[in-house]
Each structure stands twice: as C-alpha cells, then as structure tokens.
Amino acid sequence: MRELPGPLRLLGPRARRWVRRVADLVLAPVSSVAGGRVPGEVAVTFDDGPEPAVTPALLGVLAHHRVTCTFFLLVNQAEQHPELVRAIVAAGHEVALHGLDHRPLPPLGHRGALRYLREARRRLEAVTGRPVHWYRPPYGKQSAASWAAARRAGLDVVVWSADAADWEDVEVADVVALAHERLVDGGILLLHERVEPGPAGEPVETRFDRVEVVDQVLADLRDRGLRPVTVGALARRAHRTAWFR
C-alpha cells in the first residue's frame, strides 16, 4: 500500500490499519482503485506486457480456467506485438495502460505527465480499437500531480492490494504462496507477463515459469471460492485508497 510517514511505521498493525482507514476517508477525492467490495471476487492483473514468449500460453491457461483478467500494457510492447493485443481483446480480457514505457511519472510534473498519458492512451487505443479507462503507475510511483494528470487524461488509477513479488528470482511455489497469503476477498493481485528493469535501471532476471504460476494461483483461488474478474467489474463497487509514493 502507500507509504506511511516514518513515525507511523512504529505503530502496531491494528493502529496502522486505523490510520489508513482515516486517511482514505479524508483523501477519498484523490484516491486510486485498490480493490472491490463484492464478496467472493478478486482481480488478477498482469503488468509490462505483452510478451511473445508468455502471452499466448498465458491466454491458454486463462481460457482453461474460464476467467477474465486485466492486462496493464506498455505501449512500446503493444505496438511491437499488436497481434498479441488483439488476442487479449478477442479472448474477452480487459486492456489497461501501464505507460508508453516504464518510466515513473512524478519527475515529469503535472504538464509533462499529462502530455505523456494523453499520448500513451491515444496510441494504445489505436492498437486495441477500443477505449482504455484504467492506468497503473510503473513501480506504483505516484504524486498528487501525476494522479491529477491521469484523471485529466481520462484515466482512473488502479494500484494493488497484493504483490506476489514475481519480480524476484524464486521458485514457482514461493510466488504462489505469497499470492495465497496476500490476496484476500475483494483484492487486486499484481503479477507480470514480463518484468522491466528495476527503479534504478538494474536488470531483473527470473527463471521460473510464469504461466505455471498463474495456473496454480487460479487453482488456489478456485479452491478458496474466490472468482477472478476484471478490474472494471471489480471497480463497480470499488475500494479506494490514497496512494502516493
């Protein structure tokens, strides 16, 4: 979730949850979608794609489990692989924006972020052939200025409530276990089709099978009685949070 000021990190878990609830109420006008309020529903989302080595098999697994998800795509990837974007749309999944590339927007200021997001939305819609409503900031980096830019660009910001840390070089079982532990009723799970370099430009290399991760996560959700839906479906009764970091 969003970062708390230093002194508040010393509070216990219950006190921190209370502070966050109060902050979310106060800052509701500038909040981002972080989940839903329909019992039994969750959203499984994928960042940084599309990716030729992963996306086709991933779509096969999603079809096998008969679920629809949300893909937060990078425009530079989408324009290189429009056939994969068309396949995502044809399978009934939701396409959302992750950026022209993977740069954080706060350093651009409000005007720079607005120009960037308007261009990114226009170009992604040209590939998808349909409107794009949702935007997820790379690395979760967001300022009040970049949030306002997203809203002026006609986008609603979506963050996450559960990070399975699939950008670390671990085993399939480790990613699945984190998803099981962190994703609860109404939550949004962050996963990746591919992984961009880290915030400081450091390379990220993982060797586990991303499609196998998704297969096991979806099987676990089925066993827990949780139904994956798109962000758009989940957000009909959205839980929002003030997310700035």
Q: What is the pLDDT of residues 34-80, one digit of tens each?
A: 999 999 999 999 999 999 999 999 999 999 999 999 999 999 999 99
Q: Is the pLDDT of residue 164 over 90?
A: yes
Q: Confidence band (pLDDT; 50, 70, 90) for 17?
A: low
- State mean pLDDT over 24-40: 79
Q: What is the pLDDT of residue 10?
A: 61
Percent of the chain with pLDDT over 90: 85
Per residue, what are the HEC states of 199-221? CCCCCCCCCCCHHHHHHHHHHHH
Q: What is the pLDDT of residues 112-140, one digit of tens each?
A: 999 999 999 999 999 999 999 999 999 99
Q: Is the pLDDT of residue 160 over 90?
A: yes
Q: What is the pLDDT of residue 215?
A: 98
For residue 93, the 8-state DSSP code is: P
Q: Domain residues of the chain, as ranges?
A: 31-241
- Give residue for tokens 């009685």: 225
Q: Is the pLDDT of residue 162 over 70?
A: yes
Considering only residues 200 and 147, tell me which one the structure prediction assigns the higher pLDDT. 147
Q: Is the pLDDT of residue 206 over 80?
A: yes
> What are the tokens at 56?
């086709």
Cis before 29? omega within 30:
no
Q: What is the pLDDT of residue 5?
A: 52
Whether the Cβ atoms of residue 160 and residue 188 lie closer than 8 Å to each other: yes
At the topology level, CATH places domain 31-241 in TIM Barrel (3.20.20)
> What are the tokens at 161?
């409530």
Q: pTM (2 decimals)?
A: 0.90
Q: What is the pLDDT of residue 30?
A: 82
Distances (CA, A) of 235 to 39, 71, 183: 13, 15, 16
Number of Cβ within 10 Å of residue 32's Cβ equals 23
Q: What is the pLDDT of residue 131?
A: 97
Percent of the chain with pLDDT over 70: 88
- State mean pLDDT over 81-91: 98
Q: Confidence band (pLDDT; 50, 70, 90) for 13?
A: low
Task: List the catalytic residues.
Answer: 47, 192
Considering only residues 154 and 7, tell me which one the structure prediction assigns the higher pLDDT. 154
- State mean pLDDT over 200-204: 89
3-state DSSP assignment of residue 82:
helix
> What are the tokens at 191?
């996963």
